[in-house]
Amino acid sequence: MKKISVFAGLAFALLPLLANAEAWSETGKVIYVDDGDTVVLLRSDNSRMKIRLSDIDAPESMHGQKRPGQPLSQKATDYLKSLVHGKIVNAHCYEFDRYKRGVCTITVDGQSVNLKMVHAGLAWANRANPKYVRDTRVYEAESVAKKQAVGVWSQPNQVAPWRWRKDCWNDAACDGAEQ
């Protein structure tokens, strides 16, 4: 009897994880680009969904006085806008993050926008959380962008966004911040 109740308790505890276990798709129009890896999708039922692009991490945008943006954060945002703003996109989603954003791969005309951001050197492959990288092509795209010295790779001493959040935002060491 004790084994059954332990199993039942474990199954109940895992329910939230199982709810996010299956991927799903969304289609809609991008009505807002928040930064280089976050957009807002307007669905056909007029509901909105905030989406965080899976597999990548773009330069951090400014979030108030104490959280300055990284170099090229605005360029990354502008490039993402040029790819998706006002367009109908498909989003293949895997889960929701702690901010309740869908974590998704966005495609336009069958091409991965996430991958295009890395190819352009305006996002890193998400090495801080590699378990969340579903499209491993981002690693090769990053390598090519580095070799071609495009985007962030055209500038010396680039800091990955996950390091920026720790060093600059948490520890106030913000060399090269974009104000």
Give me the DSSP letters along 43-99: ETTS-EEEEEETTEEPPPPP-STTSPBPTTHHHHHHHHHHHHBTSEEEEEEEEE-TT
Judging by DSSP bridges, how do beta strands 24-35 and 88-96 pair with one another? antiparallel
Encoding tokens for residue 27?
């289609």
CA 159 to chain centre: 17
| Cβ neighbours around 71 below 10 Å, total | 17
Give me the DSSP letters along 118-145: HHTTSSEE--SSGGG---THHHHHHHHH
State the catalytic residue, choosing from 95, 101, 142, 165.
101
Is residue 101 annotated as a catalytic residue, yes or no?
yes
Is residue 52 annotated as a catalytic residue, yes or no?
yes
State the catalytic residue, choosing from 22, 43, 48, 52.
52
State the catalytic residue, choosing from 22, 26, 48, 60.
60
Q: Which residues are catalytic?
A: 52, 60, 101
